Structure 1
Amino acid sequence: MAFQHRPLSEAELGPGVWKVVRPGAPAPLQGMVARGLAPLPPRDLVVALYQLWVTNAPDLSEQAARTVEGLPMPMLAGALGDPGLPPGVLDFIARKLPRKVEVLEVVVRHSQVDDETLLGMSRICPEPICDLLADNQSRWLRQPAIVEALYQNPNCRMSVAQRMIELAVREGLELKLPNIEEIKQAIASRANPREDESSEEDDHEFRQLAQRVIEGQDRVVERVQDAAPQDELGEAELEAEEEPSDEDLAELAGLDAALASAARQEAADADADEDEEDDGAPVEAADERPQIKGDRVSQISKLSPMKKIRLALIGNAFERGVLIRDANKAVCMSAIKSPRVKENEVVNYCANRSLSHDVVRYIATRRDWTKLYAVKLNLVLNPKTPMASAMTFLAHLHAHDVRKVAHSRNIPNALAVAAKRRMAKRR
C-alpha cells in the first residue's frame, strides 16, 4: 500500500496555480512550469509541478519530477512553510527527495503529512529520519506498520529499532513482521530487562555487519524516486534484489567448517580472558568504537540474540546462511522466515541435515517452496523432515529418485520401506 495520489481540485490548487495547469492552459506556459521557469511563488510552483506529475501530462510529468529534485532548499522551504500544503504534495516531495535529510525533516513534522507517507519514508529513509520517526511515538502507536518498516530498514540504528520493537510488544501492538513470534520469545526469555540493550558501540558494529544490505538499499531508493504516481510501493515492490558476491558464495561453500572454527576461537578467547583476570593484569581501556576483527562468521556468531534476530531478517544470503545454523531457535527461525530468502537458498537449506528440526519442518509447510521438485527430493532425503510430509513428497518423486530414497541409509526405515513398495508397484 502507498499514498493514493490524485489530481488536486481548483480550490486545492489556488487561482494562481489553476491558471497555469488547468486543462487547455497554453502548452508553452505549462512547459515553463515543468522546467521551473514560471514566475510563481515557491508554494505555487511546487504544487503546480505536483499537478503536472500526478496527471501524467505528456512530456511534462517526468520533467516536473526532475525539476522538483533539483529545486534549491530555499524554494522547497518556502513551499513546505505552507501549513495547508496538500498531503499529496508532501508525499511527492518525500518520494522525489528520499536522501535530502533537511527536506524530509520538515515533511515528517508537517501537520498535513499522511500516515502512508510516513510509512513509505520509514522503509527507505536515512538514519536521522529513522530517529525522528521513532521519536514520534504517538504516530507509530497509531500506525504500527511504521514500526515494522523501521525495523526492516537497515539504515535504522539497532538501538532505535530494538527500543521501538520492545515498546510495541509491551503495548500489545499487532505487528505483522514475519518473525514477530520469535522476537517476542527473545524478549520474554531475558532474565534481566536491561540485558541485551544496544549502545552506540553496538550500533556501529551492527552497521558494519549490515553494510552490504545498506548498500543494496540504494537500488530501492532509486526505485521509489523513479516511480510513477500510480505505481505500487509496497514491501514486495521495494524488496532489494540481492545478488551474492563471489566472496559470499565462496564463504557459504565452507560455512559449516567456518562456524566450527569460530566456535573454537570464541572458546579460546574466553579462556584467555579468564587467564588475564587470574593474573590480575590491567584491562586495557576499550576504544570509543569497537574494532571488528576476524572473519564475518565469527563477528556474526558473537552478536547478542536480539541483534542476530534482526540481522537474520534483513541480512543477505551469507548472513542468513550463518544464522540459520544458530542454536537459538528464535534466531534460526527468523532467518528462514526472512522475506528475502530465495528459492535456491531453500533448496540448499532443506538438504542440510545439520539444520534444526524446526527449520526443516517450517520449509515442509511452505507450499510456495515445496512446489519445487528439488525441495521435495531434498526434504524426503532429510531425516529431520516430519514423516507425514516426507511420505507425501515421496509420492511426487521420479522413479530414479524413489530408488535413491529406497537405498538411503540416512532416512527413517519406514520411509525407505515405503519407497521400496513404490518401486515394486512400478515394475
Structure 2
Amino acid sequence: MSEIYFGFSIAQTNPILHKALAPDAPNRKQLAQGVADIHPVLLCEALYAFLFDTDSTIIAHATRMLKELPDDTLEEVFAFPYAIPQVMDYIARGRFKSPGLMPRIALHPRTHDVTVQYVVENRADLTLLSEIADHAHLLRRNPALIRIIREHPLANEPLRKKVNALVPPWEALPAELRGHLPEDAPINVRLSIVQGLLPLEPDAFVHLLFHLFFDPERVVSTAAQDALRDLPDDTLLAAARSGRAAAALDYLARKHLERSQWEKASAQQKERSIAFLSRLLDNEHVLDETVAFIARETDRIALLEKIMGNEERLRRAPEIFHALRMNYLTPPERLATIAALNPAFPEIERDYREVWAPILPKMSEEGEALDFEEVAFDPEFIEEDPESSKKRLHEISSEKKQTLTMRIYKMSNLKKQILARRGNRIVREIIMQMQNTILHECLLSNPRITVEEVGKIAADRLVADEIIRQIANNREWTKHYNIRLTLVLNPKTPVTISLKYVNQLMEQDLAKVGKNKNIPAVVSATAMKLWKQKKRLRR
C-alpha cells in the first residue's frame, strides 16, 4: 500500500491492546482482519503494529485493512487528539484516493514534520497550502515548508507573501552573529558560512545555519538544510549545550527523533540521534515545548527517565507531564509520583482520562480489558456453508430475519462496516437494504459478494454516484452483460458511463432503453438511434 517510514512495536500501542497483539493471542488473525468491535483509534494502532509482525498472513490482513478502512472512519481517528503519528504518516503516503484526509493529517498536533512536509510536497491543493500557511508555528519550526510552499506550482502571490512574512528578520540574530553575516551579505558569503569556511563556535554555526535555512535563495536554503542534517558528531553534541539557539535545537530535536524511529535508518544512525537527544535534555536552555515533544514521542525509556528525573522543569511545565501521560511507555508508577509535583497535574490526568473514556472497550470487574475473543462476531454472521449460501433473506423465517436484522442495526457503525466486508449472504442482503454509502462500499469489497448481488446494488436508484462508479470501474463485474444493462437503466449512473455501455447492448434492450423516460435523454436518444440502425441493417 505505502512506504513504512516509522518503525513500531507492540510496546508503543495502548497497553489495553498488548494481550490481543501478543504472538500467542488466540484471536490476533481476527483483529488483523478488523473483525473486532473496538474503536477505530485502537484498531488503527493494532493494525499498524501488525505491519511489523513475523507472520506474513497477519501482515497481509493488516495491510489490506489499512487500505480499505473508509475515509469517515479515518476522519474519526484523526480527529482524536492522541492519534499516533506513525499511522497518520502511513495513511498520508498510501491513501492517494483520500485527499479529504490530508488536512486532518497535516494539521494534527501530533503529526511529525516529515509527514507535514510530505503532504505539502505531494498531496496538497491550494486550500490546504493556505491552511498550513495559517499555522505559523509549523513553518517557523521547519523552514523547509516555507521554501516548498513558496515554490509550489499551485501557490499564488498572496500565499507567497504570507509565508515570506514568516521569515525571521536579520535583526533577530544575536548582535555577535550579525558581524559574521551582514544584512546585505552576497550569496557567496552566505554559502561560505553554510560550508563551514568561517571559524565559528558550534552553537554559533548551528544558529547561523538555521537562520540561512530561511534564505530566499534556494541554493542557500537547501545547502543550510543539508548542513544541519549532516553535522559532524562533535559539532552536533557541542551545539546541544547551546544557550542561544533554542529554535535551531528544537528543529534538530524533531529531526533526530524522527531519524531515531525511521525504519530505514541504520542502528548507528539511530544511536547517534539518541545520543544527541540525551545531551539536549541536559541543557536547561532548551525550550519546554522541545522537551515535551521528546517526552510524547520517544520510544526510548532512557530518554523518558531523563525527563522524569528533572523535577525542576516538570514543576514549571505542565505540558511535559501531559506529554509523558500520552506516551504509553511511561511507567504508571512514575506518573503517580510526578503528579504530586504540581497541583495542576491531577487535573491534566482527569482530562486525559475523559478524552480516552469513549474510546476504551468495556472493562471486566477486575479492571482488565475484555479479550477480543469476547467481542468477536458470532459465526452465524460470518460462516457460509453451501446450503446457507443459496438462501435468500425472504426464505428464512420471519422471526429469525427480524432477530438478525435488529442485531445488525444495533451494532456500532464500525462493526457494521467490518461485517459488510466479512459477512455471509444473508447478512449482506440485510446490509444492502441500509441506505448508507460507506456500508455499500464495504459490501463491494467483500470477497464473497456475487455478481447477482452487485447487480442489485447497481439497480438501486437511491445508491450514491460513487457506488455506481465503483461498480462500473470493476472489469470483473462489467464483463457480465446484465451488469452493463443494469447500469444503463439506472438514472443515477453518470451519463459518460451509460453512453460507454449503451453501444454494447442487444437490439431488444436498446429498444427498452430508448423508450425509458427515467434515464437521461441523451442516453435514451442514443439507444433509440442505435436500435433503428440495427433494425435497418437487419432488413
TM, length-normalised to structure 2: 0.36
Larger radius of gyration: 2
